[in-house]
């Protein structure tokens, strides 16, 4: 396997990880995302906020081409990951998704054991040479997801038997087991109770040291708590994108202000 | 045709009852229908029902007791008239005719729903009585464990069930060997890969196979598939060089019936599996795609394992269908009972022998004819067991994702 | 695996997305293979369907053509009416054995007139060309109109099944060495008569509307009478299964309390739906024929058995149709003071009707094609030659049914009947197809989305 092209790059927190320019998304006839330009930084938590149906989840799903699985969805424009166009014809979405992991709104553990859930990604991508390495990856991922201590004695138990918050952390462990560079989270706490939410939020903050995290949330408090950058979407447009502090204390656009003060939403 | 005329007269009286009841209700309040508890036609309906239903029940009862002629006619007509007169007297402004009619209708609905129970009871009773009678004439042990099936109406028959059961299971096995992989792959393709227009074009096409009557498959086995297999595996075919005389000696064989039955079961397996695969939540697919799995990896490692219990249930249902199938084996499998491993041998099945023992001029009291009921009982128990088990698995599976 | 990523999975390294690595290529290849298997499976299924349908059409379409012979027959009074008084009772004494030579003579005259050279010089030697039914055809005509006696009348008679098979390519010269029923000379003559236009093929309406014939007269066998048998059975099924099925569904869906009795009914219905059809035949045999002494082979009994078989199908689809009517409709009716019964019969049932009818038609189609239970109640083995006289007779006098007739033909020794069996299947499938199309149209037209 020496025939692969490997490019090592140094990364630091001010680098652009993802650059989106002039992105349009259509669902059949309807124009769901209009002219979105955004730069997502590495080692940063970026929050997408906005009222329901504003296109924030749709845009998130463009970043790892999950929209490809929907027949009627078309994406135009340019999305670069480390300055490579992810919608280029040469890109295999399978490889892309190994680099850009995703955690979904509802915890969706596979009906397999906890171990197999986490090992699924490394197995299909062939990331480990033997069982010992796989064990290490599984343990490391579960530790990073702050779940190891709770499940280390029952790795063979089904993942569906865990509580909601544990299931969602299992899904996060599963996503980071493929060592992605970007982690997309689509309202990861909306199905969780407050205690589980707090645990996951804490986890997101820790993940920032290794990954670039993009989180969609409809809770403004959550965005304020976990993110450094915030993008406000409204009716398919990216209205404002800035430091989280700025957005919540001194927004430029009147629509952003209306939203964070609760007048639209 | 006296029965026909009794029927006509009772119907006429029923119609008259409706008119009389309605007008009596109206006249009891001098035509001011607002003073009635129920609409006048409810009074009519009540009188009509009271005239018709008791008469019908009595008529059927008398028929079952083999009453004919005068008694039948008089008793039925009398019942009609009594019902009519009694109910007519009830009609008054305060009378709750609607409630009475609704109670009656409710009773009818319950009776209709009970037909399902009666059918099962009928099946079980007719099987049990005749089976018991058979075991009075023939030892039960030899029936269940006998290795020979040589019925002769002259007496001295050996009626061992095992060769028939073997033929049944062998043919069903071959049928499933054809139907399960094809049906399952087709279901996976249709539910996971095919675009909507392709799916809505292909699915009904495959389901045509399920709508074709089994007699058509039987004829296809007998006249097309049998001779075709003969030309390959028969004494004059290319395989005759390997095995002396070829493997196949007649067009009717386990392979012939099994192949054709397999074709018939393809849509059965595919549409059941399709439903089950569609019941796997989309979130599991998203989870797998989000990790960078390809579609086939997602299907093989996430969807199929998740759907496995349901698919096992579907296969069991298909197996029960195969075991109970009659026309294909009657025409395609042969008539000789044989315990053999060669799939190109002619063998026979439980269903085929039920048909052959009960058609023709058999004496219904002879063990050779009664054995058919024991065979049917065995068939009924096996298929019922498979069905209950399969439905239980499928239900458990569905609950898991609800 | 010398990739840095693999030994240290969490070190931030980056690999170009624009180069597809070897592992992904392998995975994509396996993806394509898997997809190809799916397409292959569907291809096999469709191929079987095409094979089945084309076999049916190829083998069955010839049943709709039949070979006829135009023969002028001299109705010789010396043979038919020996007493010469044209008395019907006396005329009836002349059997078909009297008429057969007259036809053979007529055909020999045609041969001579056309100047065809043949070794067959005697009228008797032409017997194998003519269907055994021809004599009774001529006799019936004479009995209907005795004034024809003494004249030469043109008849269009059936050719024998061997001649018919020869013209259709089923009977081949190479195969007839052992055949008592036809010889090479007779086939030569057939060819010559065909060129002369005496023997010709025509549309076989008798196959569609006619009655079955005995074992030796394949050329005369038709499916018409058993079609009537099927028709009467379907009337029974419709008259019983629809009301009972709808009533049972209404009870279970709208009124039944959740108790053991209801559970028992539910379990029974779902199990009856999966009981092998042959077991229903056993039920019919022992309950309707042995116990209730209903007549054997009667469409009434067949209809009763098929009713019990179809009920679960109708109940399942009717319940689905009732369930699809939203509760708001029931609430609205109850809200204006209707009783529960009124809300169901005035509002829910009419709205569910298209769905119920669709399910009923599909259940009827299933019943129409069912064969196995009919074997046990004596609808096979019976030669359906008589059209029932009158409506009531149609239910109780012995008859066959289309699928049973097809089975009967498939069992007969003469391969000439196979053509009839395939032809019968075409007719049966046409019925099933039209029923299903009606069901689809109904569904399309009345389907309501709530």
Per-chain mean pLDDT for chain C: 86
Domain with CATH 1.10.3720.10 in chain C: 224-446
Average pLDDT over residues B192-206: 91
- Rounded Cα distance between A7 and A10, Å, is 10
pLDDT band at residue C81, thresholds of 50, 70 and 90? confident
Prediction pTM value: 0.87
Position C184 scores a pLDDT of 85
- Out of B248-257, B299-308, C208-217, pick the least confident: C208-217
Which helix (H) or strand (E) is C434 found in, with range? helix C416-446
β-pairing, C152-158 with C14-15? unpaired
More confident site: C43 or A90: C43
Give the 3-state secondary structure percentages of chain A, helix then strand then coil, rounded to 5.
35, 25, 35
Q: What are phi and psi of C203, to 5 degrees?
A: -65, 135
- Rounded Cα distance between C127 and C107, Å, is 10
Six token digits for residue B323? 């075991």
- Rounded Cα distance between B175 and B324, Å, is 12
pLDDT tens per residue, range A177-187: 988 999 999 99
pLDDT tens per residue, range A141-185: 999 888 999 999 999 999 988 998 899 999 999 999 988 999 999
Q: How many residues does chain B have?
A: 402
Position C11 scores a pLDDT of 40
Position C366 scores a pLDDT of 92
Quote the percentage of chain C above a pLDDT of 70: 95
- Rounded Cα distance between C97 and C135, Å, is 8
Report yes or no: C126 and C120 within 8 Å, Cβ to Cβ.
yes
- Rounded Cα distance between A239 and C266, Å, is 58
Instruction: Give how far the C-alpha of residue B343 lies from the chain's centroid of Cα atoms, to the nearest Å.
Output: 28
Closest-CA residue of A relative to B281 is A108
Residues 6+ apart with CB under 8 A from B105: C341
- Which residue of B287, B300, B397 is the best one to mutate when testing the A interface, meaning the one whose CB has the most A CBs within 10 A? B287
Give the DSSP letter string of A154-195.
Answer: -TTSBGGGS-HHHHHHHHHHHHHTT--SEEEEESTTTTS-HH
Six token digits for residue C97? 């054995």
Closest-CA residue of B relative to A104 is B287
Residue in this structure with the two tokens 């026909």, named with its chain if needed: B4
β-pairing, A182-186 with A212-216? parallel
Average pLDDT over residues C370-398: 80
pLDDT band at residue A79, thresholds of 50, 70 and 90? very high
Q: Has residue C110 got a pLDDT over 90?
A: no
Question: Which residues 311-350 of C are in CB contact (within 8 Å) with B?
Answer: 311-312, 315, 339-341
Six token digits for residue A245? 């502090």
Average pLDDT over residues B9-27: 90
Residues 6+ apart with CB under 8 A from C34: B295, B296, B299, B300
Q: CA B170, B171, B173: angle at the middle one, nearest 5?
A: 65
- Out of A62-66, A201-205, C75-79, C403-407, pick the least confident: C75-79
Task: Output the CATH code of domain C224-446.
Answer: 1.10.3720.10
* Exposure class string for C105-144: b at 16+ Cβ within 10 A, else e: bbbbbbbeeeebebebeebebbbbbbbbbbbebbbeebee
Q: What are phi and psi of B43, to 5 degrees?
A: -65, -45
Average pLDDT over residues C227-249: 94
The alpha carbon of residue A100 is apart from the nearest alpha carbon of chain B, in Å, by: 8
The alpha carbon of residue A254 is apart from the nearest alpha carbon of chain B, in Å, by: 36
Q: Is B37 helix (H, G, I), strand (E, B) or coil?
A: coil
Average pLDDT over residues C142-154: 86
Which of B113, B317, B360 minimises the CB distance to C248? B113
Q: Has residue B216 got a pLDDT over 90?
A: yes
Q: What are phi and psi of C155, to 5 degrees?
A: -115, 145
Give the DSSP letter string of B92-141.
Answer: -TT--HHHHHHHHHHHHHHHHHHHHHHHHHHHHHHHHHHHHHHHHHS-HH
Q: Provide, as residue numbers in chain A, all residues whose Cβ is less than 8 Å from the Cβ of B294.
A: 94, 124
Residue in this structure with the two tokens 């075709």, named with its chain if needed: B228
Report yes or no: B304 and B311 within 8 Å, Cβ to Cβ.
yes
- Rounded Cα distance between B371 and B146, Å, is 13
pLDDT band at residue C382, thresholds of 50, 70 and 90? low
Six token digits for residue C114? 């056309």
How does DSSP classify residue C160?
P
Position A3 scores a pLDDT of 41
Position C259 scores a pLDDT of 87
pLDDT band at residue C10, thresholds of 50, 70 and 90? very low
CB contact under 8 A, A108 and B286: yes
Q: Provide, as residue numbers in chain A, all residues whose Cβ is less than 8 Å from the Cβ of C30.
A: none
Q: What are phi and psi of C36, to 5 degrees?
A: -60, -35
Q: Has residue C256 got a pLDDT over 80?
A: yes
Domains in chain B, please, with CATH?
A: 2-120 (no CATH), 149-400 (1.10.3720.10)
Report yes or no: C182 and C128 within 8 Å, Cβ to Cβ.
yes
Residues 6+ apart with CB under 8 A from B201: none
Q: Provide, as residue numbers in chain C, all residues whose Cβ is less than 8 Å from the Cβ of B303.
A: none
Quote the percentage of chain C above a pLDDT of 90: 35
Q: Is B194 helix (H, G, I), strand (E, B) or coil?
A: coil
What is the CB neighbour count within 10 angstroms for residue A5?
9
Six token digits for residue C164? 């018919």
Domains in chain A, please, with CATH?
A: 16-109+181-260 (3.40.50.300)
Average pLDDT over residues C318-333: 91
- Rounded Cα distance between B156 and A233, Å, is 90
Q: Provide, as residue numbers in chain C, all residues whose Cβ is less than 8 Å from the Cβ of A86.
A: 17
* Cα-based distances in Å from B345 to B234, B251, B262, B332, B387: 11, 9, 18, 11, 29
* Exposure class string for B139-172: b at 16+ Cβ within 10 A, else e: eeeebeebeebebeeeeebebbbbbbbbbbbbbb
| Interface check A95 vs C, CB under 8 A | yes
The arrangement of strands across the sheet holding C152-158 comes to C152-158, C65-74, C199-203
Position A8 scores a pLDDT of 38
Average pLDDT over residues A53-63: 90
Position C411 scores a pLDDT of 87
ipTM, interface predicted TM-score of the complex: 0.89
Touching subunits for chain B (3+ Cβ pairs under 8 A): A, C
- Rounded Cα distance between A258 and A262, Å, is 6
Position C168 scores a pLDDT of 87
Question: Which residues 13-32 of C are in CB contact (within 8 Å) with B?
Answer: 27-28, 30-31
Report yes or no: C139 and C81 within 8 Å, Cβ to Cβ.
no
Report yes or no: C55 and C69 within 8 Å, Cβ to Cβ.
no
- Which residue of C25, C28, C33, C34 is the best one to mutate when testing the B interface, meaning the one whose CB has the most B CBs within 10 A? C34
Report yes or no: C315 and C363 within 8 Å, Cβ to Cβ.
no
Looking at the DSSP assignment, which residues form a beta bridge with residue A74?
A26
For chain B, what is the largest distance between any 2 Cα atoms, rounded to a whole number of angstroms?
Answer: 99
Position B402 scores a pLDDT of 60
């Amino acid at each position: 396997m020496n025939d692969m092209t490997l490019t090592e790059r140094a990364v630091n927190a001010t680098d652009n990880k993802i650059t989106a320019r002039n992105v349009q998304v259509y669902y059949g006839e309807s124009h769901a995302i209009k002219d979105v330009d955004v730069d997502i930084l590495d080692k940063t938590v970026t929050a997408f906020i906005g009222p329901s149906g504003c296109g924030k989840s749709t845009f998130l799903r463009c970043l790892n081409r999950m929209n490809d699985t929907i027949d009627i969805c078309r994406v135009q424009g340019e999305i670069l990951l480390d300055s490579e166009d992810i919608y280029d014809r040469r890109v295999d979405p399978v490889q892309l998704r190994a680099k850009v992991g995703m955690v979904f709104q509802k915890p969706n553990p596979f009906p397999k054991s906890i171990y197999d859930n986490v090992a699924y990604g490394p197995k299909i991508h062939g990331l480990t040479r033997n069982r010992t390495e796989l064990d290490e990856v599984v343990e490391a991922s579960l530790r990073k997801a702050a779940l190891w201590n709770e499940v280390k004695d029952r790795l063979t138990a089904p993942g569906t038997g865990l509580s909601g918050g544990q299931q969602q952390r299992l899904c996060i462990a599963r996503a980071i087991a493929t060592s992605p560079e970007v982690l997309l989270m689509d309202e990861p706490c909306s199905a969780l109770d407050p205690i589980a939410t707090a645990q996951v939020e804490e986890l997101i903050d820790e993940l920032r040291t290794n990954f670039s995290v993009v989180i969609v949330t409809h809770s403004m408090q959550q965005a304020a708590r976990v993110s450094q950058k915030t993008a406000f979407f409204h009716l398919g447009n990216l209205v404002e994108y800035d430091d989280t502090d700025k957005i919540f204390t001194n927004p430029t656009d009147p629509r952003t202000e209306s939203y964070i003060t609760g007048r639209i939403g | 045709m006296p029965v026909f005329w009794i029927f006509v007269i009772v119907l006429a009286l029923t119609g008259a009852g409706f008119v009389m009841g309605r007008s009596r209700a109206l006249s009891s309040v001098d035509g001011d229908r607002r003073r009635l508890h129920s609409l006048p036609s409810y009074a009519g309906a009540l009188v009509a029902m009271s005239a018709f239903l008791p008469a019908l029940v009595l008529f059927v009862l008398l028929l079952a007791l083999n009453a004919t002629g005068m008694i039948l006619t008089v008793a039925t007509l009398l019942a009609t008239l009594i019902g009519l007169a009694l109910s007519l007297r009830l009609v008054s402004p305060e009378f709750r005719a609607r409630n009475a009619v609704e109670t009656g209708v409710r009773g009818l609905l319950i009776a209709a729903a009970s037909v399902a129970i009666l059918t099962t009871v009928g099946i079980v009773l007719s099987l049990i009585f005749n089976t018991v009678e058979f075991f009075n004439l023939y030892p039960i042990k030899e029936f269940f464990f006998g290795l020979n099936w040589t019925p002769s109406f002259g007496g001295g028959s050996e009626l061992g069930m095992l060769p028939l059961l073997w033929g049944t299971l062998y043919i069903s096995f071959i049928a499933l060997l054809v139907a399960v992989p094809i049906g399952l792959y087709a279901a996976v393709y249709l539910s996971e890969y095919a675009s909507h227009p392709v799916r809505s074009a292909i699915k009904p096409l495959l389901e045509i196979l399920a709508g074709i009557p089994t007699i058509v498959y039987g004829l296809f086995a007998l006249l097309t598939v049998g001779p075709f297999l003969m030309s390959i595996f028969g004494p004059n075919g290319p395989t005759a060089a390997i095995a002396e005389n070829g493997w196949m000696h007649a067009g009717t064989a386990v392979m012939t019936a099994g192949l054709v039955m397999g074709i018939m079961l393809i849509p059965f397996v595919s549409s059941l599996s399709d439903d089950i695969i569609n019941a796997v939540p989309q979130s599991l697919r998203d989870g797998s795609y989000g990790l960078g799995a390809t579609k086939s990896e997602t299907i093989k490692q996430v969807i199929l394992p998740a759907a496995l219990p349901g698919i096992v249930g579907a296969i069991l249902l298909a197996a029960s269908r195969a075991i109970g199938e009659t026309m294909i084996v009657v025409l395609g499998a042969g008539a000789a009972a044989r315990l053999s491993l060669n799939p190109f041998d002619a063998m026979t099945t439980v269903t085929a022998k039920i048909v052959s023992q009960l058609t023709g001029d058999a004496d219904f009291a002879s063990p050779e004819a009664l054995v058919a009921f024991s065979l049917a009982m065995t068939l009924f128990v096996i298929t019922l067991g498979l069905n209950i088990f399969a439905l239980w698995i499928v239900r458990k599976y569905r609950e898991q994702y609800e | 695996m010398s990739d840095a990523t693999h030994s240290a999975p969490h070190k931030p390294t980056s690999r170009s997305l624009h180069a597809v690595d070897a592992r992904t290529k392998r995975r994509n290849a396996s993806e394509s293979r898997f997809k190809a298997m799916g397409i292959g499976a569907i291809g096999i299924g469709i191929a079987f369907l095409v094979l089945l349908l084309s076999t049916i059409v190829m083998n069955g379409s010839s049943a709709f053509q039949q070979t006829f012979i135009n023969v002028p027959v001299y109705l010789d009074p010396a043979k038919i009416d020996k007493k010469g008084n044209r008395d019907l009772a006396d005329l009836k004494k002349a059997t078909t054995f009297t008429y057969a030579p007259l036809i053979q003579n007529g055909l020999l005259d045609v041969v001579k007139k056309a100047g065809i050279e043949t070794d067959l010089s005697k009228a008797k030697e032409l017997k194998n060309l003519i269907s055994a039914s021809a004599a009774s055809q001529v006799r019936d005509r004479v009995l209907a109109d005795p004034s024809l006696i003494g004249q030469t009348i043109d008849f269009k008679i059936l050719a024998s099944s061997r001649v018919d098979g020869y013209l259709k390519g089923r009977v081949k010269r190479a195969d007839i060495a052992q055949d008592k029923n036809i010889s090479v000379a007779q086939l030569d003559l057939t060819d010559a008569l065909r060129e002369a236009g005496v023997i010709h093929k025509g549309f076989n309406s008798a196959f569609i509307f006619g009655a079955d014939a005995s074992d030796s007269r394949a050329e005369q066998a038709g499916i018409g009478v058993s079609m009537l048998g099927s028709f009467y059975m379907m009337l029974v099924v419709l008259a019983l299964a629809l009301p009972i099925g709808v009533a049972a569904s209404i009870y279970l869906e709208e009124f039944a309390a959740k108790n053991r009795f209801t559970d028992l009914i539910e379990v029974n219905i779902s199990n009856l739906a999966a009981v092998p059809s042959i077991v229903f035949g056993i039920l019919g045999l022992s309950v309707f024929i042995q116990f209730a002494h209903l007549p054997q082979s009667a469409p009434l009994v067949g209809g009763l058995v098929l009713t019990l078989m179809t009920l679960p199908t109708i109940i399942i689809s009717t319940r689905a149709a009732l369930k699809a009517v939203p509760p708001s409709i029931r609430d609205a009716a109850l809200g204006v003071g209707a009783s529960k019964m009124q809300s169901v019969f005035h509002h829910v049932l009419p709205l569910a009707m298209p769905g119920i009818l669709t399910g009923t038609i599909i259940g009827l189609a299933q019943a129409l094609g069912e064969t196995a239970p009919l074997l046990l109640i004596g609808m096979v083995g019976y030669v359906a030659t008589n059209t029932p006289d009158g409506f009531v007779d149609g239910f109780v006098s012995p008859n066959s049914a289309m699928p049973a007739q097809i089975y009967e033909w498939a069992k007969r020794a003469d391969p000439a009947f196979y053509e009839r069996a395939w032809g019968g299947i075409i007719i049966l499938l046409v019925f099933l197809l039209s029923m299903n199309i009606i069901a689809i149209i109904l569904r399309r037209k009345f389907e309501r989305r709530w």
